[in-house]
Chain A
Amino acid sequence: MNGSKLMAMLSGLVAFGFYSGAAMSSKYNLPEPQTPIAQQIYDQHILALWICLVIFIGVFGVMGYSIVKHRKSVGYKAANFHHSTIVEIIWTAIPVLILVAMSWPATKTVIEMKDTSESDITIKATGYQWMWGYDYIQGEGEGISFYSQLSTSQDQIRNQAPKGEEYLLEVNNRVVVPVGKKIRILMTANDVIHAWWVPALGVKQDAIPGYIRDAWFSVEKPGVYRGQCAELCGKEHGFMPIVVEVMEQEKYTQWVADKQKSASAGVVNTALVASGSNKN
């Protein structure tokens, strides 16, 4: 019996150690951070994990020892102490100090996260049931506007076709931004509350109908970063992903030019159709 309880304790510890040790691999941890904020979040999480691990070992080391040694079956006689003011003060004060140490870097990050001033490009993201709409409202690309919908086929979701690599994380129109620029995202919604979330960028912000919220990010490395709606918004909540493509500056300029050309072509086409129908 003694052995089995000890084993249970030990396996718990090993599991927890494994948790921290494996923290470097992204399957067990936050995705590889792509922005300074995401990096700070990642580091603070690792720090918190190590602090928790040390406390865990301390508390359950003592308790485990007690469980093994101070048991009736080995003939241990109970002591009768029941309070100690000094000890109580110590174990109230030490956690306070640890918490102060943890909240210090967090405070700095919060202040930095909230500073959305002096952005290079501002994009408005609007949540709809169930897709995202994007409007580039300031900076290079101003005037670009499109919807972004899940592009995974119903056949894949209904298990009638093999699932692709980016199953549920792919869209028809990606949000495209240049590297190294401060991008400010304004979030709002058209119907119910949604949340715009891209883990690798360290951004999650609710999109609330009737209100505008904002957040920012700045990515150093070109790439495609994926996220999902993070606030329950109805039956297709699991099917409105967010895909951000970060491009080199020249490519971005090219993308903006293409987008604007096709947008103006679209406008001309509609005008033609309108005038055509007038003639009839």
Chain B
Amino acid sequence: MAVIQDVHGHGHDHPTGIMRWLTTTNHKDIGTLYLCFSLFMLFVGGFLAMGIRAELFMPGIQILEPEVFNSFTTLHGLIMVFGAVMPAWVGFANWQVPLMIGAPDMAFARLNNWSFWLLPVAALLLITSFFVPGGAAAGGWTFYPPLSTQGGMGTDMMLFAVHILGMSSIMGSINIITTILNMRAPGMTLMKMPMFVWTWLITAYLLVLVMPVLAGAVTMVLTDRNFGTSFFNAAGGGDPVMFQHIFWFFGHPEVYIMILPAFGVISEIIPTFSRKPLFGYSSMVYATASIALLSCFVWAHHMFTAGMPVVGQLFFMYATMLIAVPTGVKIFNWTATMWQGSMTFEVPMLFSIGFIFLFVIGGFSGVVCAIVPIDIQVQDTYYVIAHFHYVLVSGALFALFAGAYYWLPKWTGHMYDETLGKWHFWLSMIFFNLTFFVQHFLGLAGMPRRIPDYALQFADFNMVSSIGAFGFGLTQLLFVYIVIKCARGGEKAADKTWDGATTLEWTHLPSPAPYHSFETPPVVK
């Protein structure tokens, strides 16, 4: 504990109040900002989801006109991906990467501040676009042209927001890569890094690789809309399918950007609560790297119905199915870690097991979708909606909850309410499945996605799904209450809150972690 500095030691020129947050360069402050922002956006995106499910509660048009409904689905997707899940993971990286590698802060502290404060600007653009003439973007979160060239000013605001969010992500990733590669404590070789740090290192490389590609696609749509270019307009010699290739070259690695840090968190939590080292650490690292690599060669599986030559379809089918192998290795490794452990089931562990359980179901439907002939039937149906909510909600979001419960004691110095946390887990688990499991059936039976109204044979499952969604939405308010309660007080957390924990933040720092930590690096043996 010799490395700890007095919390107030650096307080002499430290701004307070709002200026503290606007000018902060401290990784913990910025991490907190990221996490609060993403929680807020989770509720904005959630509100849109509630609107969607309310409209779909019964057949017929009730509360949302079709165009508004399309805006809701579009902005729900964009806000959840770029506003909730991605910033939440950057928030975790900000808090945890320096603590886990024994660094005093992130490498580029001011860049860190800038990459956060870009986010509220983008969020403002997205949210206010609902109130401009013509309404918000309604061409889907994938904004395929030519449909996205039709929208009003709201579409330009959305595209501009995506640009800003992309810039923020690129800067954040550069920062994370530099921090991890240059600021590890003496003795912490790459192959001794905690899995969360590994997964974020690989994620950050993916971000730097694909975000500029998205920026290119966005720029071309913007100039097609505003300056008369024809990148994606067939009448002017452009190609609408080209957009899909470029978009998904970003879009597929993007889903791994959202899930790889989740793998990292789960790989920290399972060993801690099994009181047993992670099984197959090096194979986990290689599996993560191969998932990231493969993810760059599978983009066109989102386009099996766009029309590709046989060879193209087969290549992308085989490549996609191959991803199941390293993903399977991860599942098997987690199972082997639990095997013959001495397990306890606190909330982080519950969310982790819930994660594995539901992520596997999402993985199975992923393999089903990868098989071209089956995908021809299920592409753009509710089956696909069910699939990616299983990997992104019970995948990324559950892992975020697991991580939040796991590290809240370290961040706040207080224990969260274990009973309420268990309620949060079980209610989320039940309502999640109620919402999304039945959507598999809807998709198979032929309900297309992104429709505000549906044929009568889909009515009962839609009602079940809507009831589940309302329950799931309400349950998340409980999480906010638990977090606020924990931040304000509660039982004092021990420095090493979890007896099976082995990473530096638990073994070398008190709870709460002081404002400045590891000014003298620890030595890792």
Contact = CB atoms under 8 A, between A and B. Distances in A.
B342 A70 contact: yes
B514 interface: no
Given A31-B446, A79-B341, A91 B274 contact: no
A111 interface: yes
Interface in A73-120: 73, 76-84, 87-88, 91-92, 95-96, 99, 102-103, 106-107, 109-111, 113-114
Contacts of A209: 146, 234-235, 240
9 contacts: A19-B437, A40-B373, A48-B371, A66-B339, A70-B274, A71-B344, A167-B59, A232-B449, A237-B450
A228 B147 CA distance: 18
Contacts of B310: 110-111, 114
A10 to B, nearest CB: 12
Contacts of B60: 156-159, 163
B360 A110 contact: no
B456 A167 contact: yes
Given A37-B373, A99-B321, A88 B283 contact: yes
Interface of B: 59-62, 65-67, 70, 138-140, 144, 146-147, 150, 234-235, 239-241, 274-283, 305-307, 309-310, 313-314, 317-318, 321-322, 324-325, 328-329, 331-332, 335-336, 338-345, 353, 356-357, 360-361, 364, 367-368, 371-374, 376-377, 379-381, 429, 433, 437, 440-441, 444-446, 448-457
Contacts of A227: 446
Given A12-B357, A71-B343, A195 B275 contact: no
Contact of A41 (B241, B317, B374, B455): B374
A41 B373 CA distance: 6
Nearest to A195: B305
A78 B307 contact: no
B441 A28 contact: yes
A238 interface: yes
Nearest to B236: A210
Q: Which of A158, A168, A227 has the most CB of B within 10 A?
A: A168
Contacts of A169: 455
A227 to B, nearest CB: 7
A258 to B, nearest CB: 29
A87 to B, nearest CB: 7
A233 interface: yes
B328 A228 contact: no
Interface residues of A, number: 98
Interface string A189-209: 001110101010011111011
A232 B306 CA distance: 13
Interface string A147-168: 0000000001111000101111
Nearest to A106: B371
A238 B341 contact: no
Interface in A220-259: 227-239
Given A106-B373, A237-B450, 14 more contacts: A19-B437, A37-B373, A40-B373, A63-B335, A71-B342, A78-B276, A78-B340, A103-B371, A159-B61, A192-B146, A208-B307, A209-B146, A234-B150, A239-B453
Contacts of B146: 191-193, 209
B312 to A, nearest CB: 10
Nearest to A89: B283
Contacts of B306: 206, 208, 213
Contacts of A59: 331-332, 335, 360
Contacts of A239: 66, 453
A70 B444 contact: no
B462 to A, nearest CB: 13
Contacts of B321: 99, 102-103
Closest 4 CB pairs between A and B? Answer: A210-B234, A238-B451, A213-B307, A78-B342
A159 B459 CA distance: 14
Contacts of A277: none
Contacts of A45: 368, 374, 377, 444
A31 B444 CA distance: 8
Nearest to B331: A59
Given A59-B335, A83-B282, A163-B456, A157 B377 contact: no
Nearest to B70: A235
A203 B339 CA distance: 46
A274 interface: no
A77 B342 CA distance: 5
B350 to A, nearest CB: 9
Contacts of A235: 65-67, 70, 138
